[in-house]
Structure 1
Amino acid sequence: MVQATQFRGSPSGHIVQTTAELPNIQPDEVLVKVTDSGLCGSDLHFLSVPMVLGHEGIGIVEQIGSACSRLKVGDRVGWGPILSTCDACDMCMTGREAYCPKVKMYGVEDFDIHGSICSHAVRKEQWLFQIPDSMSSADAAPLMCGGGTVWVPLVEQCKPYERIGIVGIGGLGHLAIQFAAKMGCDVIVFSSTEEKRDEALNLGANEFYATKGVSDYATLGVPKPIDRLLITSSAKFNLGLFYPILARKASIFPLSVDSGDLTAPYMPTIARGISIVGSCVSSRYPQNKMMDFAARHKIHSIVEQYPMTLEGVTHAVDRLQSGKIRYRGVISWNSLHDQ
């Protein structure tokens, strides 16, 4: 039995530190000693739930179940929000497990053993990803959810010769810019102010437009229509704002986690053939390919690092809630030795 240190949400919304005895692993499970955890915007939705927080984990394999064959003790692995799938339905059989009707996700089931802001976690071997040796844990952690979220629509829906619009330069946006640029796309970034122009261009953007106070996006001066538009900002707006600068048959991908309704103009959507496409977190095959691509092309996460202590976790969450983190928080046990 392993005594795990865990950082949980609580009914009050405050983070609490607890210890728990983890169950013996099942034949298809792996015990992982956590080294780092990314902090994702969707974690904020679970602060009032008494569950182990975090779903962008990085750690070292400590024990493997008798049926495990892919991993070995000592491997460095990562994991995201998917806990398990049925592996038998049409979605699973065609490599789209994220859409499995029986998918178990972070925040929905198994509150006690599957988080990543903790000392140890138990995971299904099938949903652990080996981290390339050339990639740091700080770079890898945000890719477990945020990276996969932007990678899937880019690699499945976007062509290298297309103009790709990215709305927002934050936890998702700064990764999307790098991926799209390395894929050879023409990358156009939209942000509320001019503050992040230089950063966007340095990350690989070809064009940058500030939209605050602009009611007619036709006046932004975008020289050619945009083929695909990734919404990585959490701000809600009428998608029709972008229609004047979108190509016919363009696609829009809302990627941030939020509640409420999408708003778009009815007839212009039909007349211009605009597609609004839902896209979930990454399945296993694209996630593995994304990790290899990120390592080869030196995709870097821009992170703020915090120690894996109650004070450190609370401070990181407070920064995320206030919108001050640039651009992902990574909470690390190793940083305790750097204080």
Structure 2
Amino acid sequence: MTTHTITTFRFDAASAKFVKKTAQRALGLNEVKIKVTHSGICYTDVHAKDKACGLGHEGVGLITDIGANVTSMKPGDRVGWGWLRSSCGNCSACLDGYRQYCAQASGFAFCDHDQGAFADYHIIDADFAYQLPAEIPSWQAGVFMCAGASTYEALHAAGTKPHHRVGVVGLGGLGHMAVLFAKAMGCAVTVFSGSAPKAARDAFELGADECRILSNINTPIRSFGVHEQKALVDVLLICANETPDLDKILPFLARRATIVLMSIQQKPLIIPYMPFVLPGHRIIASTEASRQNHLAMIQFAARHRITPWVERFLMTEDGLKTAFDRLEKGEMRYRGVLEVPPAGI
């Protein structure tokens, strides 16, 4: 069986540097080999740094080889992939199309530790790669593989309709994509942010109708032409790194609102009981996108020309260091993308 050499960046804690590690990998019957051109960078990569694994899970590139059983893709196809890499395929969650909730689902940093998207090549099961339309340039596509897919899935899981007002807590990598998608769906949008005035300026430029700063939540900042006395939120996406004080936010929810938890955190969730129960609110969780919604999201983004806010870096040791520094300091606006440098650089 032919083996393929793959070189991936990982973080070496002893030297506090990003280093390359080379591994040999066979191409499975149902897998594709991809020459990486770009990869998004996500806070999940920060969490994974200490695992000494291949980093990156928002990859984009061109297929160079396919396994013997692959019929849906061919060499030369441009594809992307996200966090999820495998599931059992037979449980009720998988059969319903929600393989991200499979008890045996595994993804980046928990599946193949020798691989990541910060690499020269990547091998993955063809069912976990997604063909990209020409309307989405490669330097933007990685953002849709994680932040885009996650926020689109969350809006779908909440049953979001065009007449709804969507609330977005946290205007970061996830939050800014939530604003872009919600506006493209025809919704009004209120951003709840912990910082001002930059957050308000950015929120309105992204298309939001209202911004509320959590430290002064009762005083709304509204864009021109919006005159509601108190616009109540039907769907609330928690996109911040930590769940906010729900005591503050619940008064701004419409009756029977849906709260969607998207943050990755370890702190317990505290819910004010009666203010939550009496209006008939509900809380749901949403993580990765189903394959169907991942594909639908890509087509939706292409049709509406959704453009994420991206900072671009070279996929080099220096480029990774700069990108991670900005991300960990909260300075990234709003998503970082690494680009494989031209030959010779």
TM-score for both structures, normalised by structure 2? 0.92
Q: How many residues align?
A: 334
For the 8 Å contact 1:13–1:47, the answer to whether it is kept is no
Per the alignment, residue 135 of structure 2 pairs with 134
Aligned pairs for 1:68-217 (under 5 A) are: 68-113=70-115, 115-157=116-158, 158-192=160-194, 193-212=196-215, 214=216, 217=217
Confirm or deny that 1:333 pairs with 2:333. Answer: no
How many Å separate the matches in 2 of 1:136 and 1:40?
Answer: 19
Q: 1:278 to 1:338 in 2, by over 3 A?
A: farther
Long gaps (5+) in structure 1: none
Using the TM superposition, give the Cα deviation of residue 85 of structure 1 relative to its aligned residue in structure 2, in angstroms.
1.1
Confirm or deny that 1:276 pairs with 2:278. Answer: no
Per the alignment, residue 5 of structure 2 pairs with 3
How many Å separate the matches in 1 of 2:343 and 2:278?
Answer: 59
Using the TM superposition, give the Cα deviation of residue 225 of structure 1 relative to its aligned residue in structure 2, in angstroms.
1.6
Cα shift readout 1:68-99 (whole Å, capped 9, x = no counterpart) = 01000011100000011111111111111111
One-letter identity of the residue aligned with 1:209? R
Counterpart among 322, 328, 339 of residue 321 in structure 1? 328
Task: Report the secondary structure of 2:61's partner residue.
Answer: strand
Per the alignment, residue 264 of structure 2 pairs with 257
One-letter identity of the residue aligned with 2:212? Y
Using the TM superposition, give the Cα deviation of residue 140 of structure 1 relative to its aligned residue in structure 2, in angstroms.
0.9
For the 8 Å contact 1:7–1:15, the answer to whether it is kept is no
Confirm or deny that 1:27 pairs with 2:29. Answer: yes
Using the TM superposition, give the Cα deviation of residue 219 of structure 1 relative to its aligned residue in structure 2, in angstroms.
5.2
Give the fraction of aligned pairs with identical amino acids, expressed as a percent: 35
One-letter identity of the residue aligned with 1:208? C
Using the TM superposition, give the Cα deviation of residue 338 of structure 1 relative to its aligned residue in structure 2, in angstroms.
11
Per the alignment, residue 244 of structure 1 pairs with 251
Task: Report the secondary structure of 1:187's partner residue.
Answer: strand
One-letter identity of the residue aligned with 1:76? R
How many Å separate the matches in 1 of 2:268 and 2:252?
Answer: 23
Task: Report the secondary structure of 1:180's partner residue.
Answer: helix
TM-score for both structures, normalised by structure 1? 0.93
One-letter identity of the residue aligned with 1:89? C
How many Å separate the matches in 2 of 1:226 and 1:160?
Answer: 13
For the 8 Å contact 1:218–1:244, the answer to whether it is kept is no
Runs of 4+ in 1 over 6 A off after TM superposition: none
Per the alignment, residue 225 of structure 2 pairs with none
Root mean square deviation of aligned Cα? 1.8
For the 8 Å contact 1:14–1:48, the answer to whether it is kept is no
How many Å separate the matches in 1 of 2:142 and 2:254?
Answer: 35
How many Å separate the matches in 1 of 2:135 and 2:237?
Answer: 28
How many Å separate the matches in 2 of 1:153 and 1:46?
Answer: 23
Confirm or deny that 1:286 pairs with 2:293. Answer: yes
Q: 1:338 to 1:159 in 2, by over 3 A?
A: farther
